[in-house]
């Protein structure tokens, strides 16, 4: 069937607006109600038997009727179901918007923007779960974002075929493998926590640019979801705790909708950081390019409320000594509180002397941090899953190695002592040997001298006897 075909004698197909694993989406015109609609042509994978195809068609009709009961701004409204050409056609609300996948391809989102999108997605999922309907195919390509900021989930109840007992025999896997939660990859039935895992994977992709288990092929993605931990996000910032809770491997430890709601709200309502200033702001005005008095009087420091909160009043004198060029009252324009210290006439900074306050003023009490209160885990709070038995929790602070005094090991200390003893003994032996050698040499010299002297005496004595 092509463009211009009148589906069910009511919906005229005009153009293809998208294609996916479950079929083709057409922009159509409802000639009866005079409005534009979206029509999804459900195309099932090849290789299914006739009985399996019949089961899938009946299931598609049943889930489409269930989705028609959803009335939420975050859910695409289902208007009608038509069977024609031996396949089902789902008539839905036409939403003119880009998908979140298209937005991500232009660049990752900020944590604040991702949290805003996540809040609307969470509200839509919770509404569907209350009606007993699971999405089972939450991913960026099924999230539409209008120019007005409305976030809409598509394909509600259309891809719910993987839980059927007949389909599990064929090995059919429905949905995107990179966004399938671990329990579904193991062949277990989907639960509401499965949609929340896919929500976490979608928000992960929004800030990181890709799913935590996105791989080169479907089997690698499924294997990663079954065996590998979630890679720590690098750009999530304050959204990291939500991602950690939603992407917990076991559904029983996974963050619930009521627990994720306040955390997403906190991130979504964070103030936007002001842009970086182009010029450097000096703490003290330059003497050479001093600002006029009337401009300095408009600075933020002139506010008495801020003075009372941010610092202690230094008295009416401001800088006691003032600058050499003369800022007697602190900054130009005169700050009543001034800074408690100042530059004296000698150009050096002097510590201010304690000054007596006016009787009508009271010295503000120093700030004290509130003592932590004992809290119990409420329904809306989430705690990380416990670590395996015998292993330390990854979030527990470990003492830094560099904070401990560096001491040599006991074996190294003994070895060093042994070396010192050996060297000392060797030195002593060398000294003794040198002294012994010197003593022996001296004795030899003395013996030689005595021998020569005795020989000379004998000669003289012999000569004396021969003389008479």
Known binding residues for ATP: 40
Residue 28, beta-bridge partner list: 13, 37
Beta bridge partners of 39: 26, 91
Residue 214's closest CA among 182, 176, 178, 185? 178
> Residue 336: which region, alpha, beta or left (left: phi > 0; alpha: psi -120 to 50)?
alpha
Token pair 């182009």: residue: 278
The radius of gyration of the chain's CA atoms, rounded to the nearest angstrom, is 43
Task: Give phi and psi for 38, each to the nearest 5.
Answer: -110, 135
What is the CA 169 to chain-centroid distance, rounded?
A: 40
The answer to whether the beta carbons of residues 137 and 159 sit under 8 Å apart is yes
- φ/ψ of 248, rounded to 5, equals -60, 140
Q: What's the CA gap between 387 and 382, in Å, rounded?
A: 15
Contacts of 20 (CB under 8 A, 6+ apart): 141, 155
137 catalytic residue (yes or no)? yes
Q: Which residues contact 12 (CB under 8 A, 6 or more apart)?
A: 4, 5, 6, 28, 29, 31
Among 34, 54, 102, 137, the active-site one is: 137
Task: Note the Cα 40 to chain centre separation in Å.
Answer: 38
- DSSP structure class, residue 67: H
Neighbouring residues of 51: CB distance < 8 A, sequence distance ≥ 6: 166
Burial of 24 (0-12, 13-18, 19+ CB in 10 A): middle
Q: DSSP letters of 271-339? A: PPPPPPPSSPPPSS--STTPPPHHHHTTSGGG-HHHHHHHS----TTSSSS--TT--TTSSTT--SS--
Q: Burial, 9: exposed, middle or buried (Cβ in 10 Å; 0-12, 13-18, 19+)?
A: exposed
**Cα–Cα distance measured from residue 27 to residue 15, given in angstroms and rounded to the nearest whole number:** 5
Encode 185-208: b = buried (16+ Cβ within 10 Å), e = exposed. beeeebbbbbbbbbbbbbbbbbbb
Catalytic sites, residue numbers: 137
């Amino acid at each position: 069937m092509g463009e211009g075909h009148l589906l069910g004698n009511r919906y005229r197909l005009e153009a293809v607006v998208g294609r996916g694993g479950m079929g083709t989406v057409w922009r159509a015109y409802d000639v009866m109600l005079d409005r534009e609609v979206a029509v999804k042509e459900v195309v099932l994978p090849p290789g299914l038997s006739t009985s399996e195809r019949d089961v899938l068609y009946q299931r598609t009709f049943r889930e489409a009727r269930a989705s028609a009961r959803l009335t939420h701004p975050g859910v695409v409204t289902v208007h009608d179901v038509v069977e024609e050409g031996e396949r089902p056609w789902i008539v839905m609300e036409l939403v003119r918007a880009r998908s979140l996948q298209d937005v991500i391809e232009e660049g990752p989102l900020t944590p604040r923007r991702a949290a805003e999108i996540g809040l609307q997605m969470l509200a839509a999922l919770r509404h569907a779960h209350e009606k007993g309907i699971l999405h089972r195919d939450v991913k960026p390509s099924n999230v539409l974002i209008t120019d007005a900021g409305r976030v809409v989930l598509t394909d509600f109840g259309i891809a719910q075929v993987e839980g059927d007992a007949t389909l599990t025999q064929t090995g059919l896997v429905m949905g995107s493998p990179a966004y399938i939660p671990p329990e579904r990859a193991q062949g277990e039935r989907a639960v509401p926590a499965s949609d929340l895992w896919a929500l976490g994977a979608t928000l992960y992709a929004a800030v990181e640019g890709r799913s935590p288990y996105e791989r080169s092929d479907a089997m690698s993605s499924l294997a990663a979801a079954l065996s590998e931990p979630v890679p720590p996000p690098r750009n999530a910032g304050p959204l990291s705790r939500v991602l950690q809770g939603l992407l917990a491997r076991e559904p029983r430890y996974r963050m619930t909708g009521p627990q994720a709601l306040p955390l997403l709200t906190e991130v979504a309502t964070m103030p936007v950081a002001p842009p970086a200033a182009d010029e450097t702001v000096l703490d003290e005005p330059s003497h050479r390019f001093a600002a006029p008095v009337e401009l300095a009087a408009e600075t933020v420091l002139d506010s008495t409320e801020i003075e009372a909160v941010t610092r202690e009043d230094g008295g009416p004198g401001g800088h006691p000594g003032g600058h050499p060029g003369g800022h007697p009252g602190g900054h130009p324009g005169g700050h009543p509180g001034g800074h408690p210290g100042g530059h004296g006439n000698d150009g050096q900074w002097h510590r201010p002397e304690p000054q007596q306050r006016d009787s009508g003023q009271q010295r503000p009490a120093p700030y004290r941090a509130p003592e932590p209160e004992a809290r119990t885990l409420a329904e809306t709070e989430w705690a990380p899953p416990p670590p395996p038995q015998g292993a330390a929790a990854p979030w527990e602070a470990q003492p830094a190695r560099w904070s401990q005094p560096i001491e040599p090991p006991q074996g190294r200390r003994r070895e060093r002592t042994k070396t010192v003893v050996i060297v000392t003994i060797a030195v002593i032996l060398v000294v003794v040997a040198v002294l012994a050698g010197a003593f022996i040499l001296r004795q030899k010299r003395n013996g030689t001298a005595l021998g020569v002297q005795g020989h000379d005496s004998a000669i003289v004595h012999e000569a004396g006897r021969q003389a008479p």
